[in-house]
């Protein structure tokens, strides 16, 4: 009876949540349908940055589609700034920096701000604190690209070198008698070391310090150029520690001490009389035309963990309620059938995942090229391991300088939980079988025969990965092997060793796509996303129909948490995978400090 009552309570709670979400979604649709006020001359745009932007419009079923339907999307923000740069009614932009968008996304925002300022518009940045959390560097990094930097009187400004820290679970697993048994290729493929080590190994430390130094160099160089300081002057500020608002003003880190309302007042004064402020996302929705002409550029997103691809994979039409891997495959299938599409911009923001899923997506890149489409990869914050696997065969690869990429390697293994379960009084038994019958079993370690077979399979995948990159990048296999070994590179480093063609964001990738596809200069870019994103109403209806993977959405949300909770969830994710799955996934580099 207690179980029944609890079960009914859970069902009732879920029903209430679904109804609330549905009402929210429909209400947002009604609000969006209202006739907007016209954009007036002297308009100042406003934008609050509260963390990383969403990369894609949702194409999947579930809570994610509903809850992120109105989230700020990086592409829309950048396009909105670019559109406003040529809009004579818009005079300036006021930014409120509550958190960092992440270094790679910030670089794309900085580039858009530079274009906006080059058009004769002003940008003011405000924060109540630069450096209260680990995102302080990112907040100030963006602010430095603006005309004026404001700080609240009680706030602080602190810039630091970039460093990484990560949790290691070897001793924790030992306490519960769980034995991680993993093999990897090669020495820099550090993802399984989270479970097998107590701290950074020598190769891991070398890799992480190299990344930290390169990202710090980017930070210092860009801030120095934006603020008219020398790199040495900026480096001295990195070692100074927190500065009060007045000290930051004296050090010329900021331009004004004041409050948010004073920043808005200053922006209105700079814009002239009869000023109206409007949020940048609202401005985008009112003014940027999606163009209903036939597209000449297709935009396909691969965001998040790469899953195995299941179900019909060659349909150019059909259900848009798709999981990540299936959505990418269907996007390519649809784009390939559009005669007007000359190029595909493939936006990759993924740490990798399933080897088989990555190969299924790579196959679609090859088929698109065979169909006469040019494919240009635009790397987001991370495009590593499986994320690089699916990128390697593109005609061109464009990455942000701070993109994390490479990690050309693989690992496989399992957690052996037999002893831990026995301590709890749980015993296991099995019927007879062959030498490999229980290879996937979480109850027993690998036998010598099984271990040999596991290593042989990992060798095959790793050598294949290196060959794929060598073929796609037109590089000798030996050269690729030296850049591989599972090592993660920044986008800037990757360009130096030939893994990336050029540096820039999504807009730069679109420009490169036009060039390689031969789209004439007088032809506008007509961009269509494939598969088409779900509308808010469609996402709500899918949820109400029960056509929603709520479990997957909750799991994804937990692994995307910031701070120690997020690191812990990401570290524990392999416990819930299929045993002995082959993974092309970069390590969780931990917190950026």
3-state secondary structure 474-515: CCCHHHHHHHCCCCEEEHHHHHHCCCCCEECCHHHHHHHHHH
Q: Is residue 263 part of a domain?
A: yes
List the CATH number of the domain containing 159: 3.90.226.10
pLDDT at 158: 87
Q: Is the pLDDT of residue 522 over 60?
A: yes
Domain around 267: 41-163+203-287
pLDDT at 534: 67
Q: Render pLDDT for 91-100 as a digit per residue (tens, 0 to 9).
A: 999 999 999 9
Q: What is the mean pLDDT of residues 422-429?
A: 91
pLDDT at 59: 55
Residues ≥6 apart with Cβ < 8 Å to 188: 203, 204, 207, 407, 409, 485, 486, 487, 488
In DSSP terms, 323 is beta-bridged to none
Q: Is residue 215 part of a domain?
A: yes
Tell me the C-alpha distance between 159 and 240, whole Å. 8
* Residue 215, both tokens: 């990202």
Q: Is residue 451 part of a domain?
A: no
Q: Is residue 350 part of a domain?
A: no
Lowest mean pLDDT among 67-76, 174-183, 187-196, 437-446: 67-76
Q: Is the pLDDT of residue 545 over 60?
A: no
Q: Is residue 244 part of a domain?
A: yes
Q: How confident is the model at residue 544 (pLDDT cuts 50, 70, 90)?
A: low
Cα torsion through 30, 31, 35, 38, rounded to 10: -160
Tell me the C-alpha distance between 130 and 295, whole Å. 42
How many domains in the chain? 1
Q: Is the pLDDT of residue 539 over 70?
A: no
- Rounded (5°) CA angle 479-483-486: 135
Alpha-helical segments (H) within 375-447: 386-389, 418-423
pLDDT at 29: 46
Average of per-residue pLDDT values in the chain: 85
Q: Is residue 130 part of a domain?
A: yes
Q: Render pLDDT for 296-326 as a digit per residue (tens, 0 to 9).
A: 999 999 998 888 886 655 555 455 555 667 8
Q: Is the pLDDT of residue 563 over 70?
A: no
Higher pLDDT, 459 or 32: 459
Tell me the C-alpha distance between 69 and 536, whole Å. 6
Length of the chain: 593
pLDDT at 60: 52
Q: What is the mean pLDDT of residues 370-383?
A: 97
* Residue 46, both tokens: 């406003």
Q: Are 489 and 436 in contact (CB under 8 A)?
A: no
Q: Are 216 and 493 in contact (CB under 8 A)?
A: no
Q: How confident is the model at residue 33 (pLDDT cuts 50, 70, 90)?
A: very low
Tell me the C-alpha distance between 218 and 330, whole Å. 37
Of all residues in the chain, the percent with pLDDT exceeding 90 is: 65
Q: Is residue 256 part of a domain?
A: yes
Q: Is residue 378 part of a domain?
A: no
Q: Are 221 and 87 in contact (CB under 8 A)?
A: no
Exposure string of 339-361, with b = 16+ CB inside 10 Å and e = fewer, is eebbbbbbbbbbbbbbbbbbbbb
Q: Render pLDDT for 125-160 as a digit per residue (tens, 0 to 9).
A: 999 999 765 556 889 999 999 999 999 999 999 888
CA atoms within 13 A on the CB side of 237: 28
Q: How confident is the model at residue 36 (pLDDT cuts 50, 70, 90)?
A: low
Q: How confident is the model at residue 262 (pLDDT cuts 50, 70, 90)?
A: very high
Lowest mean pLDDT among 102-111, 188-197, 567-576: 567-576
Q: Is the pLDDT of residue 590 over 70?
A: no
Residue 212's CB: how many other CB atoms inside 10 A?
Answer: 18
């Amino acid at each position: 009876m207690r179980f029944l009552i609890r079960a009914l309570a859970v069902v009732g709670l879920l029903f209430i949540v679904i109804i609330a979400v549905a009402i929210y979604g429909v209400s947002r649709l009604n609000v969006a349908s209202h006739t907007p006020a016209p954009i007036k001359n002297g308009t100042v745009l406003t934008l609050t940055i509260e963390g990383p932007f969403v990369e894609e419009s949702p194409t999947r079923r579930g809570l994610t589609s509903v809850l992120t339907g109105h989230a700020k999307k990086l592409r829309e923000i950048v396009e909105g700034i670019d559109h406003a740069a040529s809009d004579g009614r818009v005079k300036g932009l006021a930014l409120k920096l509550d958190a960092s968008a992440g270094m790679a996304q910030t670089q794309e925002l900085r580039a858009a701000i530079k274009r906006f300022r080059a058009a004769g518009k002003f940008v003011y940045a405000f924060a109540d604190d630069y450096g209260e959390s680990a995102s302080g560097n990112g907040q100030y990094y963006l602010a430095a690209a603006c005309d004026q930097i404001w700080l609240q009187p009680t706030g602080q400004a602190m810039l630091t070198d970039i460093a990484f820290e990560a949790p290691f679970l070897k001793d924790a697993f030992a306490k519960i008698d769980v034995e991680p048994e993993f093999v990897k290729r090669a020495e820099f493929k550090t993802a399984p070391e989270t479970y097998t080590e107590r701290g950074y190994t020598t190769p891991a430390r070398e890799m992480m310090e190299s990344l930290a130094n390169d990202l710090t160099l980017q930070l210092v160089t860009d801030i120095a150029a934006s603020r008219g300081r020398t790199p040495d002057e900026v480096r001295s500020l990195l070692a100074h520690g927190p500065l009060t608002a007045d000290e930051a003003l004296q050090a010329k880190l900021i331009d004004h001490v004041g409050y948010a309302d004073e920043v808005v007042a200053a922006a209105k004064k700079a814009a002239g009389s009869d000023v109206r402020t409007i949020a940048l996302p609202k401005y985008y929705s009112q003014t940027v035309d999606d163009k209903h002409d036939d597209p000449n550029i297709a935009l396909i997103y691969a965001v998040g963990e790469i899953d195995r691809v299941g179900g019909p994979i060659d349909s150019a039409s059909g259900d848009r309620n798709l999981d990540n891997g299936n959505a990418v495959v269907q996007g390519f299938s649809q784009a390939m059938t559009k005669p007007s599409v000359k190029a595909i911009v493939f936006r990759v923001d993924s740490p990798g995942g399933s080897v088989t899923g990555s190969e299924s997506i790579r196959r679609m890149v090859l088929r698109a090229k065979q169909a006469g489409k040019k494919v240009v990869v635009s790397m987001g914050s991370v495009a590593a391991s499986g994320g690089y696997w699916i990128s390697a065969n593109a005609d061109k690869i464009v990455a942000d300088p701070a993109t994390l990429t490479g990690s050309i390697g693989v690992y496989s293994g399992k957690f052996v939980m037999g002893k831990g379960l026995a301590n709890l009084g749980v015993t296991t038994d099995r019927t007879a079988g062959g030498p490999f019958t229980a290879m996937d079993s979480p109850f027993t370690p690998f036998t010598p025969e099984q271990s040999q077979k596991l290593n042989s399979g990992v060798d095959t995948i790793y050598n294949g990965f290196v060959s794929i990159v060598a073929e796609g990048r037109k590089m000798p296999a030996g050269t690729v092997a030296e850049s591989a070994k599972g090592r993660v590179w920044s986008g800037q480093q990757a360009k130096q060793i030939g893994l990336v063609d050029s540096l820039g964001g999504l807009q730069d990738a679109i420009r490169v796509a036009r060039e390689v596809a031969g789209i004439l200069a007088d032809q506008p870019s007509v961009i269509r996303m494939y598969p088409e994103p779900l509308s808010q109403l469609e996402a709500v209806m899918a949820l109400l129909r029960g056509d929603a993977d709520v479990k997957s959405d909750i799991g994804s949300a937990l692994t995307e948490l910031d701070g120690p909770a997020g690191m812990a969830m990401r570290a524990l994710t392999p416990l819930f995978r299929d045993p002995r799955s082959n993974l092309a996934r970069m390590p969780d580099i931990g917190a950026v400090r």
